[in-house]
Amino acid sequence: MASALTAGSTMRLKDKVVCITGAGRGLGLSLARAFDAEGARLALAARTAAEIDEAAEACSDAIAVQTDVRVHSEVRALVEATLGEFGRLDVFINNAGLAIYGPVGSYSPDEVDLLVDTNLKGVIWGSQEALAAMKGNRDGMIVNIGSVAGTMVLPNESVYSATKWAVRGYTHVLWQEARKFGVKVVSVCPGGINTPFWRTQEYLPFPDKFDPERDFLDPDEVARGVVEICCNSAGYAVTEVVMQPVLF
C-alpha cells in the first residue's frame, strides 16, 4: 500500500492501533490520513466499501471493514476484525454520523430512526465493544465525535441536536465508568465542518450569509486536533473539547 507518511516525520503513534468509523469521506477520511501520518495502524470502517478500500490503500498499514454502525453485530465484527489483524485496539473513534435538517414537524419516522440509530446507537455499540476490548489491557482511548449541536440549540436541528446532546451525555457517563479500567474517553464537539454535505441541504441551522468554505472548520485541522488529544500525557485525561471557527 502507498504510504501517506512524510519522510523524516516524528511518528508519535507508531504501531498504535486505531479504529475509525465513517472513515470513507469527510472528517473520517481526514482522521485516517492524520493518524496514518503519525504511524498508526488503522482499521477503517464505513458502509460504502469502495470508499474505505480506497482510503485504506492510501495508508501505510490499514484494513477496510465494511460496517453499518446501526447494526450491533457489525460493530462487534469490526472490533473482532481489528483484533484479529493487529492483536490489540488502542484508540476507537466513533465518527460515523449524519444530519437531516428541517422544521420540527417535518421529520418522518424513517428519518428519526435513521438519525437515532446512526448518531446515537452507533456510538453506543462502538463504545461498548471498544471498552470490552480495551479494559483487559488497562489502557486505551474512546473518542466520540459529537457536535456543537450537542452544546447549544439552533433552528431546524431538533432531532439531529437531540442525538448529539444524547451522545454528549452518554460519553460523560462512559468516562466515569471506563476510567477505573485505565481507559480514557473524550467527547469532541466541532462546529460546522467544510464538507460537500452542506451543498445538498434545503434547510440550514444558520443564516444564509454563512459560507461553509469561508466560515467553517477545515476537516484536516479538526483531525489534527483529535490526534493531539490522543497524544497527550498518560497522567491526565481531556474529557471534552469544543471546536469553533475563530472568525465568521
* CATH number of the domain residue 58 falls in: 3.40.50.720
Residue 202 is predicted with a pLDDT of 61
In whole angstroms, what is the distance from residue 41 CA to residue 16 CA?
A: 6
Residues 6+ away with beta carbon under 8 Å from 173: none
pTM, entire model: 0.90
In the DSSP assignment, the letter for residue 218 is: P
Average pLDDT of 166-177? Answer: 98
More confidently predicted of 49 and 210: 49
Please compute the mean of the pLDDT values over residues 93-102 and round it to a whole number: 94
Does residue 238 lie within any of the structural domains? yes
User: What grid cell was written down for 183?
Assistant: 481507559
The pLDDT of residue 183 is: 97
- Residue 192, pLDDT score: 83
Q: Does residue 12 lie in a domain region? A: no
Pairing assessment for the beta strands 41-46 and 184-190 based on DSSP bridges: unpaired
pLDDT of 1 higher than 60: no
First to last CA, the chain: 40
Mean pLDDT on 38-44: 97
Res. 81 pLDDT band, cuts 50 70 90: very high
- Please give the C-alpha separations between residue 190 and each of 27, 34, 48, 62, in angstroms, as whole numbers: 10, 17, 24, 26
Residue-level pLDDT at 203: 65
Please say if the pLDDT value at position 9 is more than 60. Answer: no
Which grid coordinates are listed for 184?
480514557
Average pLDDT of every residue of the chain: 90
Cα dist from 206 to 33, 201, 214, 224, whole Å? 30, 12, 14, 26
As given in the structure block, the three cell numbers for residue 165 are 446532546
Give the model's confidence band at 4: pLDDT under 50 very low, under 70 low, under 90 confident, else very high.
very low
Quote the percentage of the chain above a pLDDT of 70.
Answer: 88
Would residue 188 count as lying in a domain?
A: yes
The one-letter code for the residue type at 24 is: G
The answer to the question of residue 197 being in a domain is yes
Residues 105 and 180: their CA atoms lie apart, in Å, by 43
Domain total in the chain: 1
Residue percentage of the chain with pLDDT more than 90:
77
The predicted pLDDT at position 169 comes to 97
94 has pLDDT over 90: yes
Q: Single out the residue of 104, 211, 199, 200 nearest to residue 161, CA to CA.
A: 104
Average pLDDT over residues 155-182: 96
pLDDT band at 127 (very low <50, low <70, confident <90, very high): very high
Q: Which residues belong to the active site? A: 160
pLDDT band at 210 (very low <50, low <70, confident <90, very high): low
| 4: in domain | no
User: Is residue 178 in some structural domain?
Assistant: yes
State the pLDDT confidence band at 206, using cuts at 50, 70 and 90: low
Please say whether the beta carbons of 167 and 146 come within 8 A.
yes
What pLDDT, on the 0 to 100 scale, is given for residue 193? 78
Task: Domain of residue 25: give its range.
Answer: 17-242
pLDDT of residue 2: 42
Residue 217: inside a domain, yes or no?
yes
Sign of the CA dihedral with 114 first, then 72, 241, and 86 last: negative
Reply yes or no on whether the pLDDT at 223 is more than 50. Answer: yes
Are the C-beta atoms of 203 and 102 separated by less than 8 Å? yes
**Helices assigned H by DSSP within the chain:** 26-37, 49-57, 72-86, 109-115, 122-134, 158-178, 212-215, 219-230
Residue 5 lies in a domain: no
- CA–CA gap between residue 166 and residue 190 (Å, rounded): 16
